[in-house]
A and B are shown apart, each in its own frame.
Chain A
Amino acid sequence: MMSMDTFMAVATGGLVLGAIYALMAAGLAAVWTTLGIFNFAHGAFIALGAYLGWQIAATQGAGLGLVAGTLGAVLVMFAFGILVHMALVRPFERRADIVTASVITTLAGAAIIESAINLIWGPRSRQMPQLVRGEVDLGLLRIPQSDLVLIVVVACVLAALGWFLGRTRAGRAMRAVSQNRQAAELMGLDVPKLYALAFGISAALAGLAGIFVGGLRFMTPTMGTDPLMKALIVVILGGIARFTSPIYAAFLVGMVESFSNYHVGLYWTPAVLFALMIVVLFLKPSGLFSHHQRTL
């Protein structure tokens, strides 16, 4: 049996992983639901976001601290996402084979981004500077301050995303385009601009996730591959009927991963997650938390 302290530590670890996966999955789903394509460069976005943040924050870089690094990385990634959309996706938008074409172009984009990181920063792993050190005592449990900051920031960002999609004109227009492109066009909504916006938001979320992943593990040019895989599981597991459905699934996957790491071992955890995904696909192919596919 686990002691209470161990249980709490493992659960906190699951919460942290879940928060990161939620950020990634929300970003993936934003592009998937709106444009109808899967962005395989999302993992590379994470790595690029982490390196950009490191460059601004670390003392070996500009040395401006982690807050500036995070803001800078998120802003640059937003612009970068729009650029990637214009270069890799938009030229193929009206074609019937857009889905296949975008698989190839986004995979190519991932390879190019990872190679560029390798060229610029080198293959040696780096460490993201920490914002806060030490633990915070919440009575029942003691958790590292950095974990607490991470969970609070993610909660705020996801709440802001929900507010944007539900309450603002641009957010509602984005949902409209994802649900019926032709009707949106006929209304006079600027579909290419909304697609670019979706890509930008997606990349900005990936950049933020990258900062957090870089804080948990060492940074390498391919650091995004594993989180991308997990986020894919999350999106399939949760479905994407609402923007909240992958978020529930993200915390479920984070918890399962954390407890499986402790009980089953690091080596078998991916197998546990994929088994869980296969079971869900058997029982509820549209995802645990959804009835319909492809709406935001």
Chain B
Amino acid sequence: MTVPLLELRDLSGGYDPIKIFEGVDLVIEAGESIGIFGPNGHGKTTLMKTISGVLEPWSGDVIFAGERMNRASARGSRRFRNFNYDAVTRRRMDPKRVARAGLIHVAQGNLLFPEMTVAEVLSIAPLASGGRNLQGADVHALFPRLTERRGHKIRYLSGGERQMVSIAVGLLAAPRLLILDEPTLGLSPKLRAELCASIGAIRGLGVPMIVIDQDVGFLTALIDRLYLFDHGRIARVLPKADIPDHDTLMTMLFGEALT
């Protein structure tokens, strides 16, 4: 039996003291990609931040490539509390460890490093272990626009270009699983089409993804399964063949009353 790429077991989390999502169970097998669809403000981004270790899981486990990414509990190390940084600072998950294991999170609306140039940002991504290794040339082939922008500072880029740099940095880190959180949010139609094509090409290279987006058509082309997220829980799981159009999906989530 092969080890699943990512496994979430009864995961819950949020921003203390408000719990945002709970009881999330999810398994991604090797080579699979999934999509997450749901209304804004229901915990999709919070879930992704918890998987990548930016936020602390409240309970449950994040297991990536057979390795548990979170510590069991800060209470477990009570004996060494005074000497253990992680206990003192209540760290249970280390974003660096998650990223170096190959789970790369391209954050929503990532502002990156405003005062650095595109070339500088692309030069500092550390390599994760065991992922698909793309070289700088591959990235420039995927995002030709970035080649022209090499010497520009990030703060002079448009939102779409910044998103491209974000994804490019993620790719250079040799991801085994790429999380794309609303990559096309707020982009002009032209840039949006360009970015969607690039993301499709990345999927074509065999990079597994978790994609969050509001465009069901775009999602369906990329993924094997769609998770419907509602009020901090997974409401339904749809295999690729059963994914309906946008309106039917909204009805599924909100019931007849809202249509």
Contact = CB atoms under 8 A, between A and B. Distances in A.
A91 interface: yes
Contact of B124 (A95, A173, A182, A242): A173
A172 B123 CA distance: 8
B89 A93 contact: yes
Contact of A188 (B106, B115, B125): B125
Interface in A151-193: 169, 172-173, 175-176, 179-180, 182-191
B238 interface: no
A296 B110 CA distance: 19
Contacts of A90: 85
A183 B113 contact: yes
A245 B218 CA distance: 47
Interface size class of B (residues with CB under 8 A): 20 to 34
Nearest to B172: A187
A133 interface: no
Nearest to A169: B124
B206 interface: no
B120 interface: yes
Interface in A126-168: none
A91 B88 CA distance: 7
A179 B128 contact: no
Contact of B90 (A94, A169, A180): A94
Given A94-B90, A173-B124, A188-B126, A179 B114 contact: yes
B99 interface: yes
Contacts of A175: 113, 115-116, 120
B195 interface: no
B125 A172 contact: no
A180 B52 contact: no
Interface string B159-196: 00000001001100100000000000000000000000
B95 interface: yes
A241 B114 CA distance: 11
Interface residues of A, number: 28
B36 to A, nearest CB: 18
Interface in A266-296: 292, 295-296
B5 interface: no
A187 B54 contact: no
Contact of B110 (A93, A183, A188): A183
Contacts of B106: 186
Interface string B92-117: 00011001100011110011111110
A189 B88 contact: no
Contacts of A296: 115
A176 B99 contact: no
Contacts of A295: 114-115
A187 B89 contact: no
A191 B126 CA distance: 12
A187 B124 contact: yes
B115 A179 contact: yes
B124 A186 contact: no
A172 B121 CA distance: 8
A92 B173 CA distance: 29
Contacts of B111: 180, 183
B113 A91 contact: no
B85 A185 contact: no
Contacts of A93: 89
A95 B126 contact: no
Contact of B99 (A92, A169, A179, A186): A186
Interface of B: 52-54, 85, 88-91, 95-96, 99-100, 104-107, 110-116, 120-121, 123-126, 128, 166, 169-170, 173
Given A175-B116, A179-B112, A188-B95, 13 more contacts: A91-B89, A169-B124, A172-B123, A175-B115, A179-B113, A180-B113, A183-B111, A186-B52, A186-B95, A186-B107, A187-B126, A188-B126, A190-B126
6 contacts: A94-B90, A175-B115, A185-B54, A186-B54, A186-B107, A187-B99
